[in-house]
Amino acid sequence: MLCKECQLNTATTSEGLCDACVTAAAYDAPPPAPLPPPGGGPAAWLRSPVGLGRAVRALLGVVIVTDLYALWAATEVRGVMDELISGEYGADIELDAEHADKLYASAGGAQLVALVATCVVFLVWFHRVRVNAEAFDPHIHSKSRGWTVGSWFVPVVNLWFPRRIAIDIWDASGDRSKSLETPAERSTPGLINAWWTLWLVSILAGRFAGRRYSAAEEPEQINSALTGMMVSDALDIVAAVLAILFVHRLTRMQDEKARSGPGVVPGGVPIGGSHR
Lowest mean pLDDT across 195-204, 220-229, 253-262: 253-262
pLDDT value for 16: 74
N-to-C CA span, the chain = 27
Residue 167 half-sphere exposure toward CB, CA atoms < 13 A: 22
Q: Round to whole Å and give the CA distance between 208 and 229.
A: 9
Yes or no: say if 163 and 185 are a contact pair by the CB < 8 Å rule.
Answer: no
Beta bridge partners of 264: 270
pTM of model > 0.85: no
**Residue 152: CB partners within 8 Å, gap ≥ 6?**
123, 158, 162
* pLDDT at residue 84, rounded to an integer: 87
- Which pLDDT belongs to residue 260? 78
Residues 6+ apart with CB under 8 A from 106: 73
Mean pLDDT of the chain: 83
Answer whether residue 48 shows pLDDT above 70. yes
Q: Answer with the residue of higher pLDDT: 142 or 175.
A: 142
Please check the confidence at residue 108 and state whether its pLDDT lies above 90. Answer: yes
Whether the per-residue pLDDT at 92 is higher than 90: the answer is no
Per-residue pLDDT tens over the stretch 150-204:
999 999 999 999 999 999 999 999 865 454 455 545 567 899 999 999 999 999 9
Q: Tell me: pLDDT of 270 over 50.
A: no
pLDDT of the residue at 69: 97
pLDDT-derived band at 21, boundaries 50, 70, 90: low
Higher pLDDT, 194 or 85: 194
SS3 readout for the chain: CECCCCCCCECCCCCCCCHHHHHHHHHHCCCCCCECCCCCCCCECCCCCHHHHHHHHHHHHHHHHHHHHHHHHHHHHHHHHHHHHCCCCCHHHHHHHHHHHHHHHHHHHHHHHHHHHHHHHHHHHHHHHHHHHHHHCCCCCCCCCCHHHHCCCCCCHHHCHHHHHHHHHHHHHCCHHHHHCCCCCCCCCHHHHHHHHHHHHHHHHHHHHHHHHHHCCCHHHHHHHHHHHHHHHHHHHHHHHHHHHHHHHHHHHHHHHHHHCCCEECCCEECCCCCC
**Closest-CA residue to 246 (of 141, 165, 184, 180):** 165
175: left (phi over 0), alpha (psi -120 to 50) or beta: beta
pLDDT greater at residue 114 or residue 6: 114
Mean of pLDDT values over 130-141? 90
Q: Which pLDDT does position 87 carry in this prediction?
A: 79
Can you give the C-alpha Rg of the chain in angstroms?
A: 24
Give the pLDDT score at 13: 74
**80 pLDDT above the threshold of 50:** yes
Reported confidence tier of residue 41, pLDDT bands at 50, 70, 90: low
Predicted pLDDT at 238: 97
What's the rounded mean pLDDT across residues 59-68? 98
Among residues 6, 26, 22, 23, the alpha carbon closest in space to that of 14 is found at: 22
